Structure 1
Amino acid sequence: MSFIAEFAFSSPIMRATRQDVPGVTITVEDEQPDRTGESKLIVWATGTEDDLERFFRTLPTDPSVTAFEILSTLSERRLCRVTLSDDGERGLTYVDAIDVGITFLDIESSGSETRYRAQVPNRDALSQYRERCAERGLSFDLRRLYRIEADETEQYGLTSRQRDVLRRALDAGYFEVPREISTEELADEFDISSQALSALLRRGHRAILRSAFSDPESEYRDADR
C-alpha cells in the first residue's frame, strides 16, 4: 500500500514568465536532469494564442531559462524543450524525489504556483522530500494525502500516461523487428510530438528496468547515476 500526495510549492522554473502571463498553464511531459548543468524540461504550454505569443516573447528574459525550443505547435498549445539556468535547477526536484522513492504523476504550473500529484511509498519518504525542498529554499504546501492499493502498474513505478503509451506501442507492433508502426504514427495517436512520445517511452522503460534489476533496498539509491 502506498499514498498519493497532492502538494504545491513556488518553483523558480519559468516563474517570472508565468507570473507575467498567468493565463498560460505549463504541464510537464518529461524532466531530464543533467549533472553537468544542462538540465532540460519538455513541457506543454496551454493558453490562448495571444497569451502564448506573449509567453514565448517573455521567456528569453526569464532568469530560470538559458534556452528554449518549440517542438510542436497546435491550436492553443505548444510543446517546447526548456534548458534551465542555475536558478531554474533549484526547482528541479526530480532526483530528490527518486532518491526517496517518490514518483511524480502530474506536474502543472500557472501564475506563481506549481502543483504536483505524486505516488509516495510512505509518510517518511514524503517528510524527507519536504526537507529537501526546504534545503533548496522551496516552500512546501501539502494539499491532500490519501492511501491507494498497490497494483501492477504502481509496482513498476509507471505513470498512467507511460502505461497507456507502452501498452499501445506493444499492441501496435512498435517493438517488432521491423516495426509495424512508426514513432510519428504512434505520436499522432496521442496527439503529441515524436519527441514527447520518445520521452514517455524512455521513462517507462527506465521504470520497468529499475524494478526488474533492483532490489527494494537499492531501487532508488542508484537512480540516475
Structure 2
Amino acid sequence: MVVVAELEIPADAFDLGRLSQVTEGIHIELERVVPTGNDGVMPFFWASGPDHGAFEAFESAVRGAEVVERLTAVARVDDRVLYHVVWADSAANLTEVLVSNEATILEAHGDDPWRFRLRFADHRGLREFHNYCLDHEIAFRVERIYTLDEEQDAKYNFDLTPEQQSALTLAVEHGYFSVPRGISLKEIAEELGISQQAASERVRRGAETVLQSVLLSRSAADLE
C-alpha cells in the first residue's frame, strides 16, 4: 500500500541541505521530482534571496563545494532563481537511498531543518529508508505517516501543512490580502515567532496549494 511520510531532516545531514547553509539569507525549495535511475534526483531547485549580491555569493560558494560538479542558473523570476545542479561522484548523499527505494519527493524545502514529504510504493520502501538513516546516523523527526487513501481524504483540507494553515489563516484574518494590507509579512512572522522568509514561504505555498485545488481541479460537470 502506498504510504506518505512527512519528516524533518537537519540541513547538515544531506547534500542539498548542506548547500543551503553556505550563504546567509538564501532559502532553497526543491522542485517536485520523481527518481529517474542513473539521472538521480534533486537536479533542480529554486533559491530565493534578498538581493543580487546574495545570489552571487551563493553561486560562488556552491561552485566551490567539493560535492558539486556543476551549477547552472536556468531562470530568474522576481527574487527567485531556478538552478540545475550536477553532483560530483564523491557526493555522499541522502538521495541515493531515495532512488533505490523508488521514493517520490513530493515536497522538500527549508533552511535548517529541512521538511520533506516523501511517497513510497509500500511500507518496505519506507522501512528501508528508515534503516538507512539509522545506519548512517542521519537524525530525523517524523511528523506524520499516512496512506494514499488518507492523503486523498486530506484534500478536503486542501492538503495544507499545519504550519501553512496557521500562517495562511493569520494572513487572511488580519487582511494581508486586502487593499491596502492590514498586516505585513514582518508582523505575521513576529506573531508566529519565525523569520520573515519562513513566513513568506508558508503564506505563498499555502495560498498556491489552495488556489490550485480550487482553480485547477475539474469535475465532470466542468466538461459538459
- TM-score category (smaller protein): 0.5 to 0.7
Matches within 5 A, 1:175-214: none
Match of 1:81 among 73, 80, 84: 84
Q: Which runs of 5+ in 2 are unaligned?
A: 153-158, 160-224
1:115 aligns with 2:115: yes
Separation of aligned partners in 1, 2:90 and 2:137: 12
Matches within 5 A, 1:99-178: 102-111=103-112, 113-135=113-135, 137=136, 139-150=138-149
Residue 100 of structure 2 aligns with an amino acid whose one-letter code is D
Match of 2:21 among 19, 23, 43: 19
Separation of aligned partners in 2, 1:85 and 1:62: 10
Q: 1:33 to 1:134 in 2, by over 3 A?
A: farther
1:95 aligns with 2:99: yes
Please report how far the alpha carbon of residue 16 of structure 1 lies from its aligned counterpart in structure 2 after TM superposition: 4.6
Q: Which runs of 5+ in 1 are unaligned?
A: 154-159, 161-225
Please report how far the alpha carbon of residue 138 of structure 1 lies from its aligned counterpart in structure 2 after TM superposition: 5.4
Query: Which SS does the other structure have where 2:62 is aligned?
Result: helix
Residue 142 of structure 2 aligns with an amino acid whose one-letter code is R
Q: 1:5 to 1:14 in 2, by over 3 A?
A: closer
Query: Which SS does the other structure have where 1:150 is aligned?
Result: helix
Please report how far the alpha carbon of residue 108 of structure 1 lies from its aligned counterpart in structure 2 after TM superposition: 1.5
Separation of aligned partners in 2, 1:124 and 1:138: 20
Query: Which SS does the other structure have where 2:14 is aligned?
Result: coil
Asked which structure has the greater CA Rg, the reply is 2
Checking the alignment, whether the CA contact within 8 Å between 1:96 and 1:132 is kept in structure 2 is: no
User: Matched residue pairs, number?
Assistant: 149
Separation of aligned partners in 1, 2:150 and 2:45: 28
Please report how far the alpha carbon of residue 39 of structure 1 lies from its aligned counterpart in structure 2 after TM superposition: 7.2
Please report how far the alpha carbon of residue 5 of structure 1 lies from its aligned counterpart in structure 2 after TM superposition: 1.3
1:8-31 alpha-carbon deviations (Å, 9 max, x no partner): 334432455422324212222246
Query: Which SS does the other structure have where 1:19 is aligned?
Result: coil
Please report how far the alpha carbon of residue 58 of structure 1 lies from its aligned counterpart in structure 2 after TM superposition: 1.4
Please report how far the alpha carbon of residue 54 of structure 1 lies from its aligned counterpart in structure 2 after TM superposition: 1.9
Greater share of helix: 2
Separation of aligned partners in 1, 2:110 and 2:88: 18
Separation of aligned partners in 2, 1:34 and 1:40: 12
Separation of aligned partners in 2, 1:7 and 1:123: 15
Percent identity between the two aligned chains: 17
Separation of aligned partners in 1, 2:129 and 2:65: 27
Q: 1:138 to 1:32 in 2, by over 3 A?
A: farther
Please report how far the alpha carbon of residue 122 of structure 1 lies from its aligned counterpart in structure 2 after TM superposition: 4.9
Please report how far the alpha carbon of residue 55 of structure 1 lies from its aligned counterpart in structure 2 after TM superposition: 1.0
Separation of aligned partners in 2, 1:55 and 1:65: 13
Superposition TM-score, scaled by structure 2 size: 0.53
Separation of aligned partners in 1, 2:16 and 2:124: 30
Residue 82 of structure 2 aligns with an amino acid whose one-letter code is L
Structure 2 equivalent of residue 186 of structure 1: none
Q: 1:134 to 1:63 in 2, by over 3 A?
A: farther
Q: 1:32 to 1:4 in 2, by over 3 A?
A: closer
Structure 2 equivalent of residue 42 of structure 1: 44
Compute the RMSD of aligned alpha carbons: 3.4
Greater share of strand: 1
Superposition TM-score, scaled by structure 1 size: 0.53
Separation of aligned partners in 1, 2:17 and 2:111: 8
